[in-house]
Structure 1
């Protein structure tokens, strides 16, 4: 069984969010702390349909997120356990913290788009 402790992970600071990440047997584990409101529609640009196609499982430990789908949206708050199927765009309230599990190969594609958009927003240009 693969395990880790949050205290063993060093968070990366991206301004609006801090994310600590590790990989456990083919699944990426993200510990996310939102320091400013975040609408992921900007960060997901360039993916097919500008939406996330990676499924995620997790728990919101503080705060709240709203997840938009083509036909509806769902609000997930502190203490809620969630499954986000492919085809979503989340927004996060300030102060939100969550632990999220995602298939690593699918998450890699999403992370590449997020980092590309982060660099563009920061004025660094495309990689």
Structure 2
């Protein structure tokens, strides 16, 4: 799977994402042009945190996963794993490739989508 084979992008201010599924996993190619603290999107999930684990690689830029055990900072050229129970903070000019179990991701995204809708 490649970034261009995933179909049409999902776009929002400061964000572009392309997603595909294979063997029970969702692969995301994401690009951020603005700072994004995503904690408010997870309100309503257990501990108000993302419930899906993620494996990924930072192509360029920086992201921080805030967890109950502390922050996990990942910068360009680094691979990462973060378990359930986190909130992401993405910095401008960041590109990542991320792998997530589709079932857990979809459960989390139901709440994220609802929260996005209520934010206007």
Aligned partner of 2:2 in structure 1 is: 5
In structure 2, distance between residues paired with 1:5 and 1:67: 25
Say whether residues 1:61 and 2:40 are aligned partners: no
Across the two proteins, how many residue pairs are aligned to each other?
119
5+ long unaligned stretches in structure 2: none
1:18-73 CA-to-partner distances (Å, cap 9, x unmatched) read: 11011011001111111211111111111111001110001000100011111211
More helix by share: 2
In structure 2, distance between residues paired with 1:95 and 1:11: 17
Aligned partner of 1:108 in structure 2 is: 106
- How does 1:1-127 map onto structure 2 within 5 Å? 4-9=1-6, 10-122=8-120
In structure 2, distance between residues paired with 1:117 and 1:38: 15
In structure 2, distance between residues paired with 1:115 and 1:95: 24
- In the TM superposition, structure 1's runs of 4+ consecutive aligned residues that sit over 4 Å from their partners are none
More strand by share: 2
RMSD across aligned positions (CA): 1.0
Q: Output the TM-score relative to the length of structure 2.
A: 0.94
SS of 1:116's equivalent in the other structure is: helix
Segment of structure 1 superposing worse, 59-68 or 11-20: 11-20
